[in-house]
């Protein structure tokens, strides 16, 4: 096992690689990072079962033994690539607390959907759960990303002790974003410019429904709507809803239902 | 392998069972059904890895070899129990097309949450995906149940050719119901009497948001709201939302946003 430590890199392998693509010899850390980056690219474009150690070696301009020198096998490389991807995705959720809430969320969703598109096959394989390379570790990475998303949203809402209904609303919306991304990757029934604001508006609507059971959230939503701009996603939702609900088909019924029953 | 067919049941085992709990000798089909029923009960109450063939044999008043005579192993029994559970759950989604839509959905959700409670451990292990007994077959059962739920909801909406936005809305809400059930089973932060109408109201709200992008759905929602009763879940949502949105904290902002920007 000692000969497998990265500090004892096999010189012949490095030279073999160098003869094929002449370049500066990579340090141990650089080589390790390069292999992870190459693996992440391949696992993003294909399901894990369709990527071999030979594919990774070829794409890295390295030999199969060199890859095995750094990683015990495909599973280890996959899990490391997955951790990197999870960290990168969680990083995309970070957003300044300035400006209208729906515009902040719209920017985050733009970065999220960009990530989803550039890791399409790997994202699908991972979340569909049908991958033979799936592992408890993969589940832990997914859970970490979900928790990061939930914490970021709750942080933007600025309620230090979120109610159970608010937590559930945010968690359910994160599931919505996942499912919607998966379905969207499968056949892209709408352009990203449609999906992105719609997901934002669905959270705004779900928060508003939750606010009927959470007075603290209702107060906070008042502040948020006050800060929204006329061209933002929340304002467009309010206008579209006002238009739809004012139609003859709906207005009379809603007015009748809004009036408390006399009993 | 021939000696493993149910038609050649080992007499000694049946007699052994009979000496412990004297009862009428079960036919081959009855015994098989009994083992599945016992397994389903055990897999409902515990995670699959915490159920052994010995547990199933003991609960069925049978011997370990008898269980193996009917099923090659725990995995096969688990998958059969899962298929039964999936069929039972899908059956609970069936609901007459009569009466207000939110009340139909409320009844379905009552039966769904009842199922979730009576299969708590198994439901959690299956959907958390962390079970070591998970298999592609388990994934197929989950997908079938999700599809059955989606088809039933679309059937009640009565739109023969649902738009992509409507399909996505229903699919996302099914994920919401799953996630919400899992979280609810974990610590029951609210009574079932709160969760049940809230889930119904979340679908009503999500459909209303989807209707802003789907004129056919908007027309259909008009018919549905017209049929809602003042005490139903949809009417309560409309009243609660009217109350929340009319509060000083929200009303002014919403009115401002509802007015189209002058440009």
In B, which residues are within 8 Å of A241 by CB distance? 208-209, 212
Question: What pLDDT score does A134 carry?
Answer: 56
| Tokens found for residue A28 | 């141990």
Please give the Cα distance from B209 to B161 (Å, whole number).
Answer: 19
In B, which residues are within 8 Å of A246 by CB distance? none
Instruction: Mark yes or no for CB contact B208/A244 under 8 Å.
Output: yes
Give yes or no for residue A3 having a pLDDT over 50: no
Q: How far is A34 from chain B (nearest CA, A)?
A: 31
Give yes or no for residue A6 having a pLDDT over 90: no
Q: Give the ipTM.
A: 0.84
Of A168, A212, A225, the CB nearest to B254: A225
Mutation pick from B171, B225, B261 vs chain A, by most beta carbons of A within 10 Å, is B225
Q: How far is A161 from chain B (nearest CA, A)?
A: 14
Measured between alpha carbons, how far is residue B105 from residues A210, B96, B172, B198, B258 in Å? 19, 10, 16, 11, 31
Give yes or no for residue A18 having a pLDDT over 60: no
* Cα angle, residue B69 at apex, residues B65 and B74 outer, rounded to 5°: 80
Whole-angstrom Cα Rg for chain A:
24
pLDDT in tens, A125-176: 888 764 445 566 788 888 899 999 999 999 999 998 999 999 999 999 999 9
Are the CB atoms for A222 and B247 separated by under 8 Å?
Answer: yes
> Residue B257's closest chain A neighbor by CA?
A235
> Residue B177's closest chain A neighbor by CA?
A172
Question: What pLDDT score does A129 carry?
Answer: 63
Distance of CA A225 to the CA centre of its chain: 26
> Residue B173's closest chain A neighbor by CA?
A176
Q: How far is B8 from chain A (nearest CA, A)?
A: 37
Measured between alpha carbons, how far is residue B119 from residues B48, B74, B89, B112 in Å? 12, 18, 10, 11
Q: H-type helices in chain B, by residue range? A: 11-20, 28-45, 53-60, 64-70, 74-92, 101-118, 120-128, 136-157, 164-187, 192-211, 215-227, 233-245, 248-258
Name residue, tokens 């080992």.
B10
Question: What pLDDT score does A172 carry?
Answer: 95
Please give the Cα distance from B44 to B50 (Å, whole number).
Answer: 11
In A, which residues are within 8 Å of B247 by CB distance? 218, 222
Instruction: Mark yes or no for CB contact B136/A130 under 8 Å.
Output: yes
Q: Give every CB contact of residue A41 below 8 A, 6+ residues apart in sequence.
A: A59
Question: What pLDDT score does B230 carry?
Answer: 94
Instruction: Mark yes or no for CB contact A254/B238 under 8 Å.
Output: yes
Low-confidence ranges of chain B (pLDDT < 50): 1-19, 130-132
Question: What pLDDT score does A12 carry?
Answer: 45
Q: How far is B37 from chain A (nearest CA, A)?
A: 28
Give me the DSSP letters along chain A: -GGGSGGG--HHHHHHHHHHS--PPPPHHHHHHHHHHHHHHHHHHS-GGG--HHHHHHHHT--HHHHHHH-SSHHHHHHHHHHHHHHHHHHHT---S-S-HHHHHHHHHHHHHHHHHHTHHHHHHHHH---TT--HHHHHHHHHHHHHHHHHHHHHHT-SS--HHHHHHHHHHHHHHHHHHHHHHHH--S-HHHHHHHHHHHHHHHHHHHHTT-HHHHHHHHHHHHH--TTSHHHHHHHHHHHHHTSHHHHHHHHHHHSPP--
- Comparing C-alpha atoms, which of A244, A166, A158, A218 is closest to residue B253? A218
Of A164, A212, A260, the CB nearest to B241: A212
Of A168, A212, A239, the CB nearest to B257: A239
> Residue A213's closest chain B neighbor by CA?
B240
Are the CB atoms for B100 and B16 separated by under 8 Å?
Answer: no
Question: What pLDDT score does B217 carry?
Answer: 96
Instruction: Mark yes or no for CB contact B238/A258 under 8 Å.
Output: yes
Mutation pick from B172, B205, B213, B242 vs chain A, by most beta carbons of A within 10 Å, is B172
Question: What pLDDT score does B6 carry?
Answer: 47
| Tokens found for residue B39 | 């397994």
Of B194, B228, B261, the CB nearest to A257: B228
Mutation pick from B257, B259, B260, B263 vs chain A, by most beta carbons of A within 10 Å, is B257
In A, which residues are within 8 Å of B172 by CB distance? 175-176, 179-180, 202
Give yes or no for residue A19 having a pLDDT over 90: no
- Burial (Cβ within 10 Å: 0-12, 13-18, ≥19) of residue B187: exposed
| Tokens found for residue A193 | 């410019």
Please give the Cα distance from B26 to B69 (Å, whole number).
Answer: 14
Instruction: Mark yes or no for CB contact B212/A244 under 8 Å.
Output: yes
Please give the Cα distance from A75 to A138 (Å, whole number).
Answer: 10
Instruction: Mark yes or no for CB contact A180/B172 under 8 Å.
Output: yes
Please give the Cα distance from B59 to A190 (Å, whole number).
Answer: 53
Question: What pLDDT score does B133 carry?
Answer: 53
Of A168, A225, A230, the CB nearest to B180: A168
In sign, the C-alpha dihedral spanning B123, B125, B129, B132 is negative
Name residue, tokens 């594919």.
A55
| Tokens found for residue B38 | 């016992």
């Amino acid at each position: 096992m000692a000969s497998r430590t990265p500090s004892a890199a096999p010189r012949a392998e490095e030279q073999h690689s160098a003869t094929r693509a002449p370049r500066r010899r990579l340090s141990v850390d650089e080589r390790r990072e390069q292999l992870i980056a190459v693996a992440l690219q391949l696992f993003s474009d294909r399901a894990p079962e369709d990527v071999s150690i030979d594919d990774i070696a070829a794409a890295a301009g390295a030999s199969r033994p060199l890859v095995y020198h750094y990683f015990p096998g495909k599973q280890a490389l996959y899990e490391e690539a997955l951790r990197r991807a999870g960290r990168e995705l969680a990083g995309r959720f970070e957003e300044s607390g300035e400006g209208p809430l729906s515009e902040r969320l719209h920017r985050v969703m733009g970065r999220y959907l960009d990530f989803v598109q550039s890791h399409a096959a790997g994202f699908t394989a991972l979340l569909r759960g049908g991958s033979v390379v799936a592992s408890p570790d993969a589940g832990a990475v997914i859970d970490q990303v979900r928790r990061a998303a939930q914490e970021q949203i709750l942080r933007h809402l600025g309620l230090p002790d979120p109610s159970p209904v608010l937590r559930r609303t945010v968690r359910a919306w994160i599931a919505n974003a996942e499912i919607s991304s998966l379905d969207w990757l499968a056949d892209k029934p709408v352009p990203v410019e449609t999906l992105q604001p719609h997901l934002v508006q669905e959270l705004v609507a779900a928060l508003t429904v939750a606010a009927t059971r959470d007075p603290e959230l209702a107060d906070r939503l008042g502040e948020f709507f006050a800060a929204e701009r006329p061209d933002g996603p929340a304002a467009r939702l309010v206008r579209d809803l006002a238009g739809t609900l004012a139609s003859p088909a709906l207005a009379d019924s809603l007015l009748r239902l809004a009036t408390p029953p006399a009993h």
